Amino acid sequence: MIDHVSIAVSDLARSAAFYEAALAPLGLARLVERPRTVGFGKRYPEFWLNARPGMAKVADGTGAHICLRARTTDAVVAFHAAAVATGGRSDGAPGMREASMAPYFAAFIRDPDGNRIEAATFLNAENP
């Protein structure tokens, strides 16, 4: 249903480096690079960064929440670790979460601009 998402970032180079590290465990790579935008994805750009040099930092409790699917719990843990190691901050350590449909394993981070990004995987026989 959703083809791609875009988020605003104040420093495109800093954010591109941050997301390159944080998204790698989820299988997303930098695919498109233009002067004011960078696109990440597996086969085509599905997660975009758009330069907004004058933007204020997103305050906690506001803004968008984007959840990206991970294949395994290890990928969720690696996403969280890479994000924190490259200038993000934890907004929810890796662990089990309850949802309306089924429990899942997830982690939440805030990027350098305060955008809230989650990585999640649903557990099953192939992904215990």
Write down the pLDDT at residue 126: 59
For residue 26, give the CATH number of its domain. Answer: 3.10.180.10
**Beta strands of 1-128 (E only): which ranges?**
5-9, 29-34, 37-41, 45-51, 65-69, 89-97, 104-110, 116-122
Answer whether residue 47 is part of any domain: yes
Residue spans of alpha helices (H) in the chain = 12-23, 73-85
Provide, rounded to the nearest whole percent, the portion of the chain with pLDDT above 70: 97
Write down the pLDDT at residue 1: 78
Answer whether residue 127 is part of any domain: no
Write down the pLDDT at residue 84: 98
Task: Give the chain's domain count.
Answer: 1
Does pTM surpass 0.85?
Answer: yes
Determine the Cα–Cα distance for residues 32 and 39; give it in Å rounded to an integer: 5
Kindly give the interhelix angle for 12-23 and 73-85, rounded to the nearest 10 degrees.
150
Write down the pLDDT at residue 76: 98
Answer whether residue 73 is part of any domain: yes
Answer whether residue 128 is part of any domain: no
Write down the pLDDT at residue 123: 83
Determine the Cα–Cα distance for residues 58 and 33; give it in Å rounded to an integer: 24
Write down the pLDDT at residue 99: 79
Dihedral angle over CA of 55, 59, 64, 67, nearest 10 = 110
Write down the pLDDT at residue 102: 85
Answer whether residue 96 is part of any domain: yes
Cβ proximity of 52 and 114 under 8 Å: no
Provide, rounded to the nearest whole percent, the portion of the chain with pLDDT above 90: 85
The residue among 17 and 99 whose pLDDT is bigger is 17
Determine the Cα–Cα distance for residues 16 and 19; give it in Å rounded to an integer: 5
pLDDT digits (tens, 9 = 90+) for 82-128: 999 999 999 999 999 987 778 899 999 999 999 999 999 998 755 66
Domain extent for 70? 5-53+63-122
Answer whether residue 89 is part of any domain: yes
